Structure 1
Amino acid sequence: MPPSSPPPSRRAPRERLLIAQEAARLIAESGIHDFEHARRKAASKLGIHEEALWPRLADVEQALREHQRLFAATEQPGALHQRRESAMQAMQFLHAFQPRLVGAVLTGLAGENSPVNLQLHCDDADAVQHFLHEQRIPAEARTWALQLAGHASRQHFPGWEFAADGIAFELVVLPEDALRQPPVSPDDGKPLPRATLAQLKLLLAASPPPAGVA
């Protein structure tokens, strides 16, 4: 009689670590920058379909930090600083839409494949599209699924993608109420980290560019 599989409580730490490490590799090497998508893809690749065995997104972030420390310690700090500088310029450009910086550029996990993620706030999403068109910025429309604080489920929000100076930008347009009810984590329902332009400037001032980065 073949041995039975260990119970989930005993398998969980190992399974979670494997998924987190694979998700981190996918983010760093395969151009995937959505942590939840990377986690799901890593679990599927490893054949671990029971979501109770999956790591938290915070565990994926920690695994990515370790991956960058081991394999990208030289280039990652420069890529991060460059994207934070570009985010500052973009937020100044888009100031009328009350932008907030989110994602890897804010948390310090951005690498050479990472986009700048900005959340804009406007009850008329077409106004953002018209602004980009008037500024002659060729942007591609797409949608994002996010759960806002105070809401029981995810909603789809419009947005645009474009590139400038070799850096990708992703803009999602949220209603103005989202300034008070921001997107929350799918793991614990807590508000996701966000930064205003003023907060980003403070972050840049506290983190001088690495050697060799202008």
Structure 2
Amino acid sequence: MAKDNGRNSQLRQRIAQLAARMMADDGIADYGHAKRKAGRQLGITEDHCMPTNAEIEEEIRIFHEIYNSEEQPEALRQLRADALVVMQMLERFNPHLTGAVLDGTAGKHAATDIHLYAESLKDVEMFLLNLQVPYESNEKSYRTHSDKRSNDRKKVPVFTLEGPNGAIRLSVFDTNAPRNPPKSLVDGQTMNKANLANLTALIASSKIQADAV
């Protein structure tokens, strides 16, 4: 039994490492897709060998430290700067940055995720049209329950913009809806978010750290 557990642990790590590379270098944004693709490439399909999203996220951080230690911090600073510009433009919709660009795991192909809050989806749509900002409309499913076994999901409309360094996804939440913040796909807890003031401070802090190196 101990031998099997050790083997399963090794397989989980191999899948997590390959999935992390796919997400960091190949632009795959979905944890589930990355781990399934990695499993197929390695010939491993058993569910009990699949790593958690948190294990993959940790491997992404390690991957960046080993292989992208010079270019990733600068790419991350640029993505955050791009997000700041968009959030300033959309300030009336109480924008909050979330996801990989905020938590620091974003690679060069990562999409930037921003949450907006509006009384009407049309308000955001008309605002973008008036500014002649091209976009694509879609939906994104968010987890609404901290229990990872729960199937509770909420579909939210998304406007995707083409930023200077990658896609920028604007998820629009209803300000009149009951407060039920979306949960992280990594640990099931409420998503980390940064408003304009938080992001401005984060960028300033990162610049100070970079200048000190």
Per the TM superposition, whether the score is higher than 0.5 is yes
List gaps (5 residues or longer) in structure 2.
none
**Compared CA separation, residues 211 and 153, structure 1 to 2 (3 A):** closer
**Compared CA separation, residues 166 and 186, structure 1 to 2 (3 A):** closer
Task: Answer with 44-53 or 26-35: which moved more.
Answer: 44-53
1:51-93 Cα offsets, whole Å, 9 max, x none, are 3322221211111111112211111111000111111111111
**Compared CA separation, residues 170 and 32, structure 1 to 2 (3 A):** same
Cα deviation, residue 166, structure 1: 3.7
Cα deviation, residue 6, structure 1: 8.5
Corresponding residue to 1:29 among 25, 38, 47: 25
CA contact (8 A) 2:116 2:170 kept: yes
**CA–CA distance in structure 2, aligned partners of residues 38 and 137 of structure 1:** 31
TM-score between the two structures when normalised by the length of structure 2: 0.85
**CA–CA distance in structure 1, aligned partners of residues 55 and 181 of structure 2:** 22
Partner of 1:57: 53
**Compared CA separation, residues 45 and 127, structure 1 to 2 (3 A):** farther
Task: State the AA in 2 paired with 1:64.
Answer: I
Does structure 1 residue 131 correspond to structure 2 residue 127?
A: yes
Cα deviation, residue 174, structure 1: 1.8
| Matched pairs, number | 208
Cα deviation, residue 7, structure 1: 7.5
Does structure 1 residue 68 correspond to structure 2 residue 64?
A: yes
Partner of 1:190: 189
Task: Answer with 81-90 or 6-15: which moved more.
Answer: 6-15
1:72-127 Cα offsets, whole Å, 9 max, x none, are 11111110001111111111111111111111110111222112111112242222
Cα deviation, residue 186, structure 1: 4.1
Instruction: State the superposition RMSD in angstroms.
Output: 2.6
Task: State the AA in 1 paired with 2:84.
Answer: M
Task: Answer with 110-119 or 172-181: which moved more.
Answer: 172-181
Task: State the AA in 1 paired with 2:118.
Answer: C
Corresponding residue to 1:122 among 118, 122, 126: 118
**Compared CA separation, residues 179 and 162, structure 1 to 2 (3 A):** farther
TM-score between the two structures when normalised by the length of structure 1: 0.85
1:108-147 Cα offsets, whole Å, 9 max, x none, are 1122211211111224222212211111111011111112
CA contact (8 A) 1:57 1:187 kept: yes
Partner of 2:152: 153
CA contact (8 A) 1:149 1:182 kept: no
Partner of 1:202: 201
**CA–CA distance in structure 2, aligned partners of residues 61 and 45 of structure 1:** 19
The secondary structure found in structure 1 opposite 2:81 is helix
